[in-house]
Chain A
Amino acid sequence: QQQVKQSPQSLIVQKGGISIINCAYENTAFDYFPWYQQFPGKGPALLIAIRPDVSEKKEGRFTISFNKSAKQFSLHIMDSQPGDSATYFCAASMIPGGSQGNLIFGKGTKLSVKP
Chain B
Amino acid sequence: DAGITQSPRYKITETGRQVTLMCHQTWSHSYMFWYRQDLGHGLRLIYYSAAADITDKGEVPDGYVVSRSKTENFPLTLESATRSQTSVYFCASSDRGGPYGYTFGSGTRLTVV
Contacts and interface: CB of A to CB of B under 8 A. Distances in A.
B39 to A, nearest CB: 9
B99 A32 contact: yes
B83 interface: no
Contact of A44 (B58, B90, B97): B90
Interface string B100-113: 01111111000000
Interface residues of B, number: 26
The size bracket of the interface on A is: 20 to 34
A90 to B, nearest CB: 10
B94 to A, nearest CB: 9
B42 A99 contact: no
B92 interface: yes
Interface of A: 6, 32, 34, 36, 41-46, 89, 91, 93-103, 105-108
7 nearest CB pairs, A to B: A97-B97, A101-B98, A97-B98, A43-B104, A107-B42, A93-B99, A105-B43
